[in-house]
C-alpha cells in the first residue's frame, strides 16, 4: 500500500486504540508526548490529531513515529506500506478496509441518533410522570416506558459488541425508531403505552414502590 491507501485504510482513532489509548466521548486522550497531562488534551480527529497542551500534531504516520521513536520509512512499513507495485491482493485488502471504515461510520452515526432519541424520550416520560397522578394508569404506563428507556440507555453507553447486536433486535418496532418518536409529538394523547403493563392497581402499587420510587 502507498501512503494514501494506508490513510484510507486506517482512521486516526484505530491507530490510537492500537497502542492502548482510550478515546473518551469528546474524542480526547491523555497526551503521551508531554508530562503532567492531568486532563485529556490530545484531540483525535478522523485523520489527524492535535494536542492543545503541547501543540504536537500530525497524522497517523506522525503518531506512530513519535510513539515508536522511528523515522517515517519505518512507520510507513509498520502500517503495511510498501514501495512495490500494488498487487490484486493488496488492492482487495484496501477495498475491504474502506468498506469496514464506512460501515463503522454508519454504525456510529446510528448509535449517536439512538442516544439522542433515547435521552429525549427519558425526559418526556419523566415530565409526564410529574404531571400525572401517582399510581394512575397514565403514571404506570410512563413508569414502564421509562424503565425500558433507562435499560436501553445503559446498553447505549457501553457500546459492547454483544449489546450492539442486542440493540439491532429493537430496530423493527422499537420505541427508539424515528417514526415512533415523531408520533410521540403528533398524537393527541402524547402518552405511549408500554408493551408491559401493570394488570391491576395492587400490582401497580407493589411494582412502583419496589422499583420506581427508588429511582426518583
Q: Quick one: how many helices (H) and strands (E) in the chain? A: 9, 4
Q: Specify the range with the lowest mean pLDDT, choosing from 12-16, 42-46, 110-114.
A: 110-114
Q: What does the alpha-carbon distance between residue 34 and residue 31 come to, in Å, rounded to a whole number?
A: 6
**Do 67 and 123 belong to one domain?**
no
Assess whether 67 and 115 both reside in one domain: no
Residues 81, 51 within the same domain: yes
Give the count of domains, the chain: 2
SS3 assignment, position 136 = coil
Residue 172 has pLDDT above 80, yes or no: no
Question: Are residues 150 and 197 both part of a single domain?
Answer: yes
Instruction: Give the pLDDT of residue 105.
Output: 83
Same domain, 114 and 24: no
Q: Are residues 10 and 61 in the same domain?
A: yes
Tell me what percent of the residues of the chain surpass a pLDDT of 70.
Answer: 70
List the alpha helices (DSSP H) in 2-136: 3-9, 12-18, 60-68, 72-78, 88-131
Does residue 1 have a pLDDT over 50?
yes
pLDDT tops 60 at residue 214? no
- In this prediction the pTM is 0.44
pLDDT value at 110 more than 90: no
- 88-94 average pLDDT score: 75
Based on the fold, state whether residues 78 and 111 are members of the same structural domain: no
Residue 102 domain-assigned (yes or no) = no
CB atoms within 10 A of CB 8: 15
Q: So what's the pLDDT on residue 196?
A: 36
For residues 114 and 75, membership in a common domain is answered with no
Could you tell me which residue, 159 or 49, shows the higher pLDDT? 49
Q: Please indicate whether residue 35 or residue 209 has the higher confidence score (pLDDT).
A: 35
pLDDT of residue 191: 42
Res. 11: pLDDT tops 70: yes
Q: Are 142 and 189 in contact, with CB atoms under 8 Å apart?
A: no
- Per-residue pLDDT of 40-90, as tens digits, reads 899 999 889 999 999 999 999 999 999 999 999 899 988 888 766 767 777
Residue 91 lies in a domain: no
Same domain, 111 and 199: yes
Q: What is the CATH number of the domain that holds 21?
A: 3.90.580.10
210 and 111 within one domain: yes
Residue 27 lies in a domain: yes
Range of the domain at 22: 3-86
Tell whether 36 is covered by a domain: yes
3-state secondary structure at position 174? coil
Question: Are residue 9 and residue 76 in the same domain, yes or no?
Answer: yes
Residue 30 located in a structural domain: yes
SS3 28: strand
pLDDT band at 159 (very low <50, low <70, confident <90, very high): low
Residue 191 lies in a domain: yes
Amino acid at each position: 500500500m502507498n501512503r494514501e491507501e494506508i490513510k484510507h485504510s486506517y482512521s486516526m482513532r484505530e491507530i490510537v486504540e492500537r497502542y492502548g489509548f482510550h478515546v473518551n466521548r469528546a474524542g480526547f486522550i491523555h497526551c503521551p508526548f508531554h508530562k503532567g497531562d492531568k486532563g485529556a488534551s490530545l484531540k483525535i480527529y478522523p485523520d489527524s490529531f492535535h494536542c492543545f497542551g503541547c501543540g504536537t500534531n500530525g497524522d497517523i504516520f506522525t503518531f506512530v513515529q513519535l510513539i515508536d521513536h522511528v523515522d517515517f520509512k519505518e512507520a510507513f512499513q509498520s502500517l503495511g506500506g510498501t514501495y512495490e507495485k500494488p498487487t490484486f491482493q493488496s488492492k482487495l485488502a484496501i477495498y475491504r478496509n474502506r468498506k469496514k471504515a464506512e460501515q463503522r461510520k454508519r454504525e456510529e452515526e446510528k448509535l449517536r441518533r439512538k442516544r439522542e432519541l433515547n435521552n429525549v424520550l427519558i425526559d418526556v416520560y419523566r415530565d409526564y410522570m410529574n404531571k400525572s397522578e401517582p399510581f394512575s394508569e397514565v403514571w404506570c404506563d410512563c413508569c414502564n416506558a421509562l424503565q425500558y428507556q433507562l435499560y436501553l440507555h445503559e446498553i447505549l453507553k457501553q457500546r459492547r459488541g454483544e449489546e450492539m447486536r442486542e440493540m439491532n433486535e429493537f430496530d423493527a418496532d422499537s420505541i427508539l425508531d424515528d417514526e415512533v418518536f415523531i408520533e410521540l409529538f403528533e398524537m393527541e394523547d402524547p402518552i405511549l403505552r408500554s408493551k408491559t403493563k401493570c394488570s391491576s392497581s395492587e400490582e401497580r402499587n407493589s411494582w412502583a414502590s419496589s422499583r420506581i420510587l427508588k429511582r426518583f
